[in-house]
Chain A
Amino acid sequence: MAWWREHALHWLSQRPRARAGALLAPGSLWLVVFFAVPILIMLGYSLMPRGLYGGVERGFTLEHYTRFIDPLYLDILRRTLAWSLACTAICLGLGYPVAYTIVRSGRWRNLLLLLVVLPFWTSFLVRTFAMIFLMRDTGLINDWLAKLGLIQHPLTILYTPFAVMVGLVYGFLPFMILPIYASLEKLDRGLLEAAEVLGARPAARFRRVTLPLSMPGVVAGCLLVFIPALGSFLTADLLGGAKQMMIGNLVQNQFSAARNWPFGSAASFIIMSLILLLLSIYLRAQGRVEAAR
Chain B
Amino acid sequence: MSAPAQQQPVVQFVGVSKSFGATRAVDNVSFEICRGEFFSLLGPSGCGKTTTLRLLAGLEQPDDSGGEVRLMGQPVNRRPPYERQLSMVFQNYALFPHLSVARNVAFGLEQRRIAGAQIQERVRRALAMVRLDPDVFGRRMPNQLSGGQRQRVALARALVLEQPILLLDEPLGAIDLQLRKEMQLELKALNKQLGITFVYVTHDQEEALTMSDRIAVMDRGRIAQLGTPAEIYENPRTAFVAGFIGQSNFFDGRVAQHWDGRWLLELRAGGALQVPHHPGLEQNATIRVAVRPEWMNLRRADSVPPGENVLAGTIRDIIYLGQTLHIIVAIPSIGDITVALRNEGQITRPLAWKRGESAIISWSIDDCQILEES
Interface contact B98-A197, CB-CB below 8 Å: no
Interface contact B100-A200, CB-CB below 8 Å: no
Give the distance to chain B from A173, nearest Cβ to Cβ, in Å: 27
Among B96, B97, B100, residue most surrounded by chain A Cβ atoms (within 10 Å): B96
Chain A residues proximal to chain B, CB less than 8 Å: 188, 190-191, 193-201, 204, 208-209, 212-213, 293
- Chain A residues with CB below 8 A from B90, complex form: 190, 193-194
Asked if B108 is at the interface (CB within 8 A of a chain A CB), the reply is yes
Q: For the complex, give the distance between the alpha carbons of A209 and B107 in Å.
A: 10
- Chain A residues with CB below 8 A from B139, complex form: 293
Interface contact B96-A199, CB-CB below 8 Å: no
Interface contact B141-A199, CB-CB below 8 Å: no
Asked if B311 is at the interface (CB within 8 A of a chain A CB), the reply is no
Interface contact A198-B100, CB-CB below 8 Å: no
Q: For the complex, give the distance between the alpha carbons of A195 and B167 in Å.
A: 14
- A sample of 5 more A-B contacts (CB under 8 A), given A194-B88, A293-B141, is A190-B90, A190-B91, A195-B96, A198-B157, A199-B112
10 contacts between A and B (CB under 8 A): A193-B57, A193-B94, A194-B94, A196-B81, A197-B82, A198-B107, A198-B111, A198-B158, A199-B161, A200-B82
Asked if B59 is at the interface (CB within 8 A of a chain A CB), the reply is yes
Interface contact A198-B87, CB-CB below 8 Å: yes
- Chain A residues with CB below 8 A from B84, complex form: 197
- Chain B residues with CB below 8 A from A212, complex form: 98
Chain B residues proximal to chain A, CB less than 8 Å: 57-59, 80-82, 84, 86-88, 90-92, 94, 96-98, 100, 107-108, 111-112, 139, 141, 157-158, 161, 167
Q: For the complex, give the distance between the alpha carbons of A191 and B98 in Å.
A: 11
Interface contact A209-B96, CB-CB below 8 Å: yes
Q: For the complex, give the distance between the alpha carbons of A198 and B95 in Å.
A: 11
Task: Find A197's partner among B87, B96, B100, B112 (CB 8 Å cutoff).
Answer: B87
Among residues of B, the one whose C-beta sits closest to the C-beta of A196 is: B81
Q: For the complex, give the distance between the alpha carbons of A208 and B81 in Å.
A: 17
Interface contact B92-A196, CB-CB below 8 Å: no
Q: For the complex, give the distance between the alpha carbons of A199 and B139 in Å.
A: 23
Assuming A191-B96, A212-B98, is B88 touching A197 (CB within 8 A)? yes
Interface contact B96-A194, CB-CB below 8 Å: yes
Task: Find B107's partner among A190, A193, A195, A213 (CB 8 Å cutoff).
Answer: A195
Q: For the complex, give the distance between the alpha carbons of A75 and B84 in Å.
A: 58
Q: For the complex, give the distance between the alpha carbons of A188 and B59 in Å.
A: 15
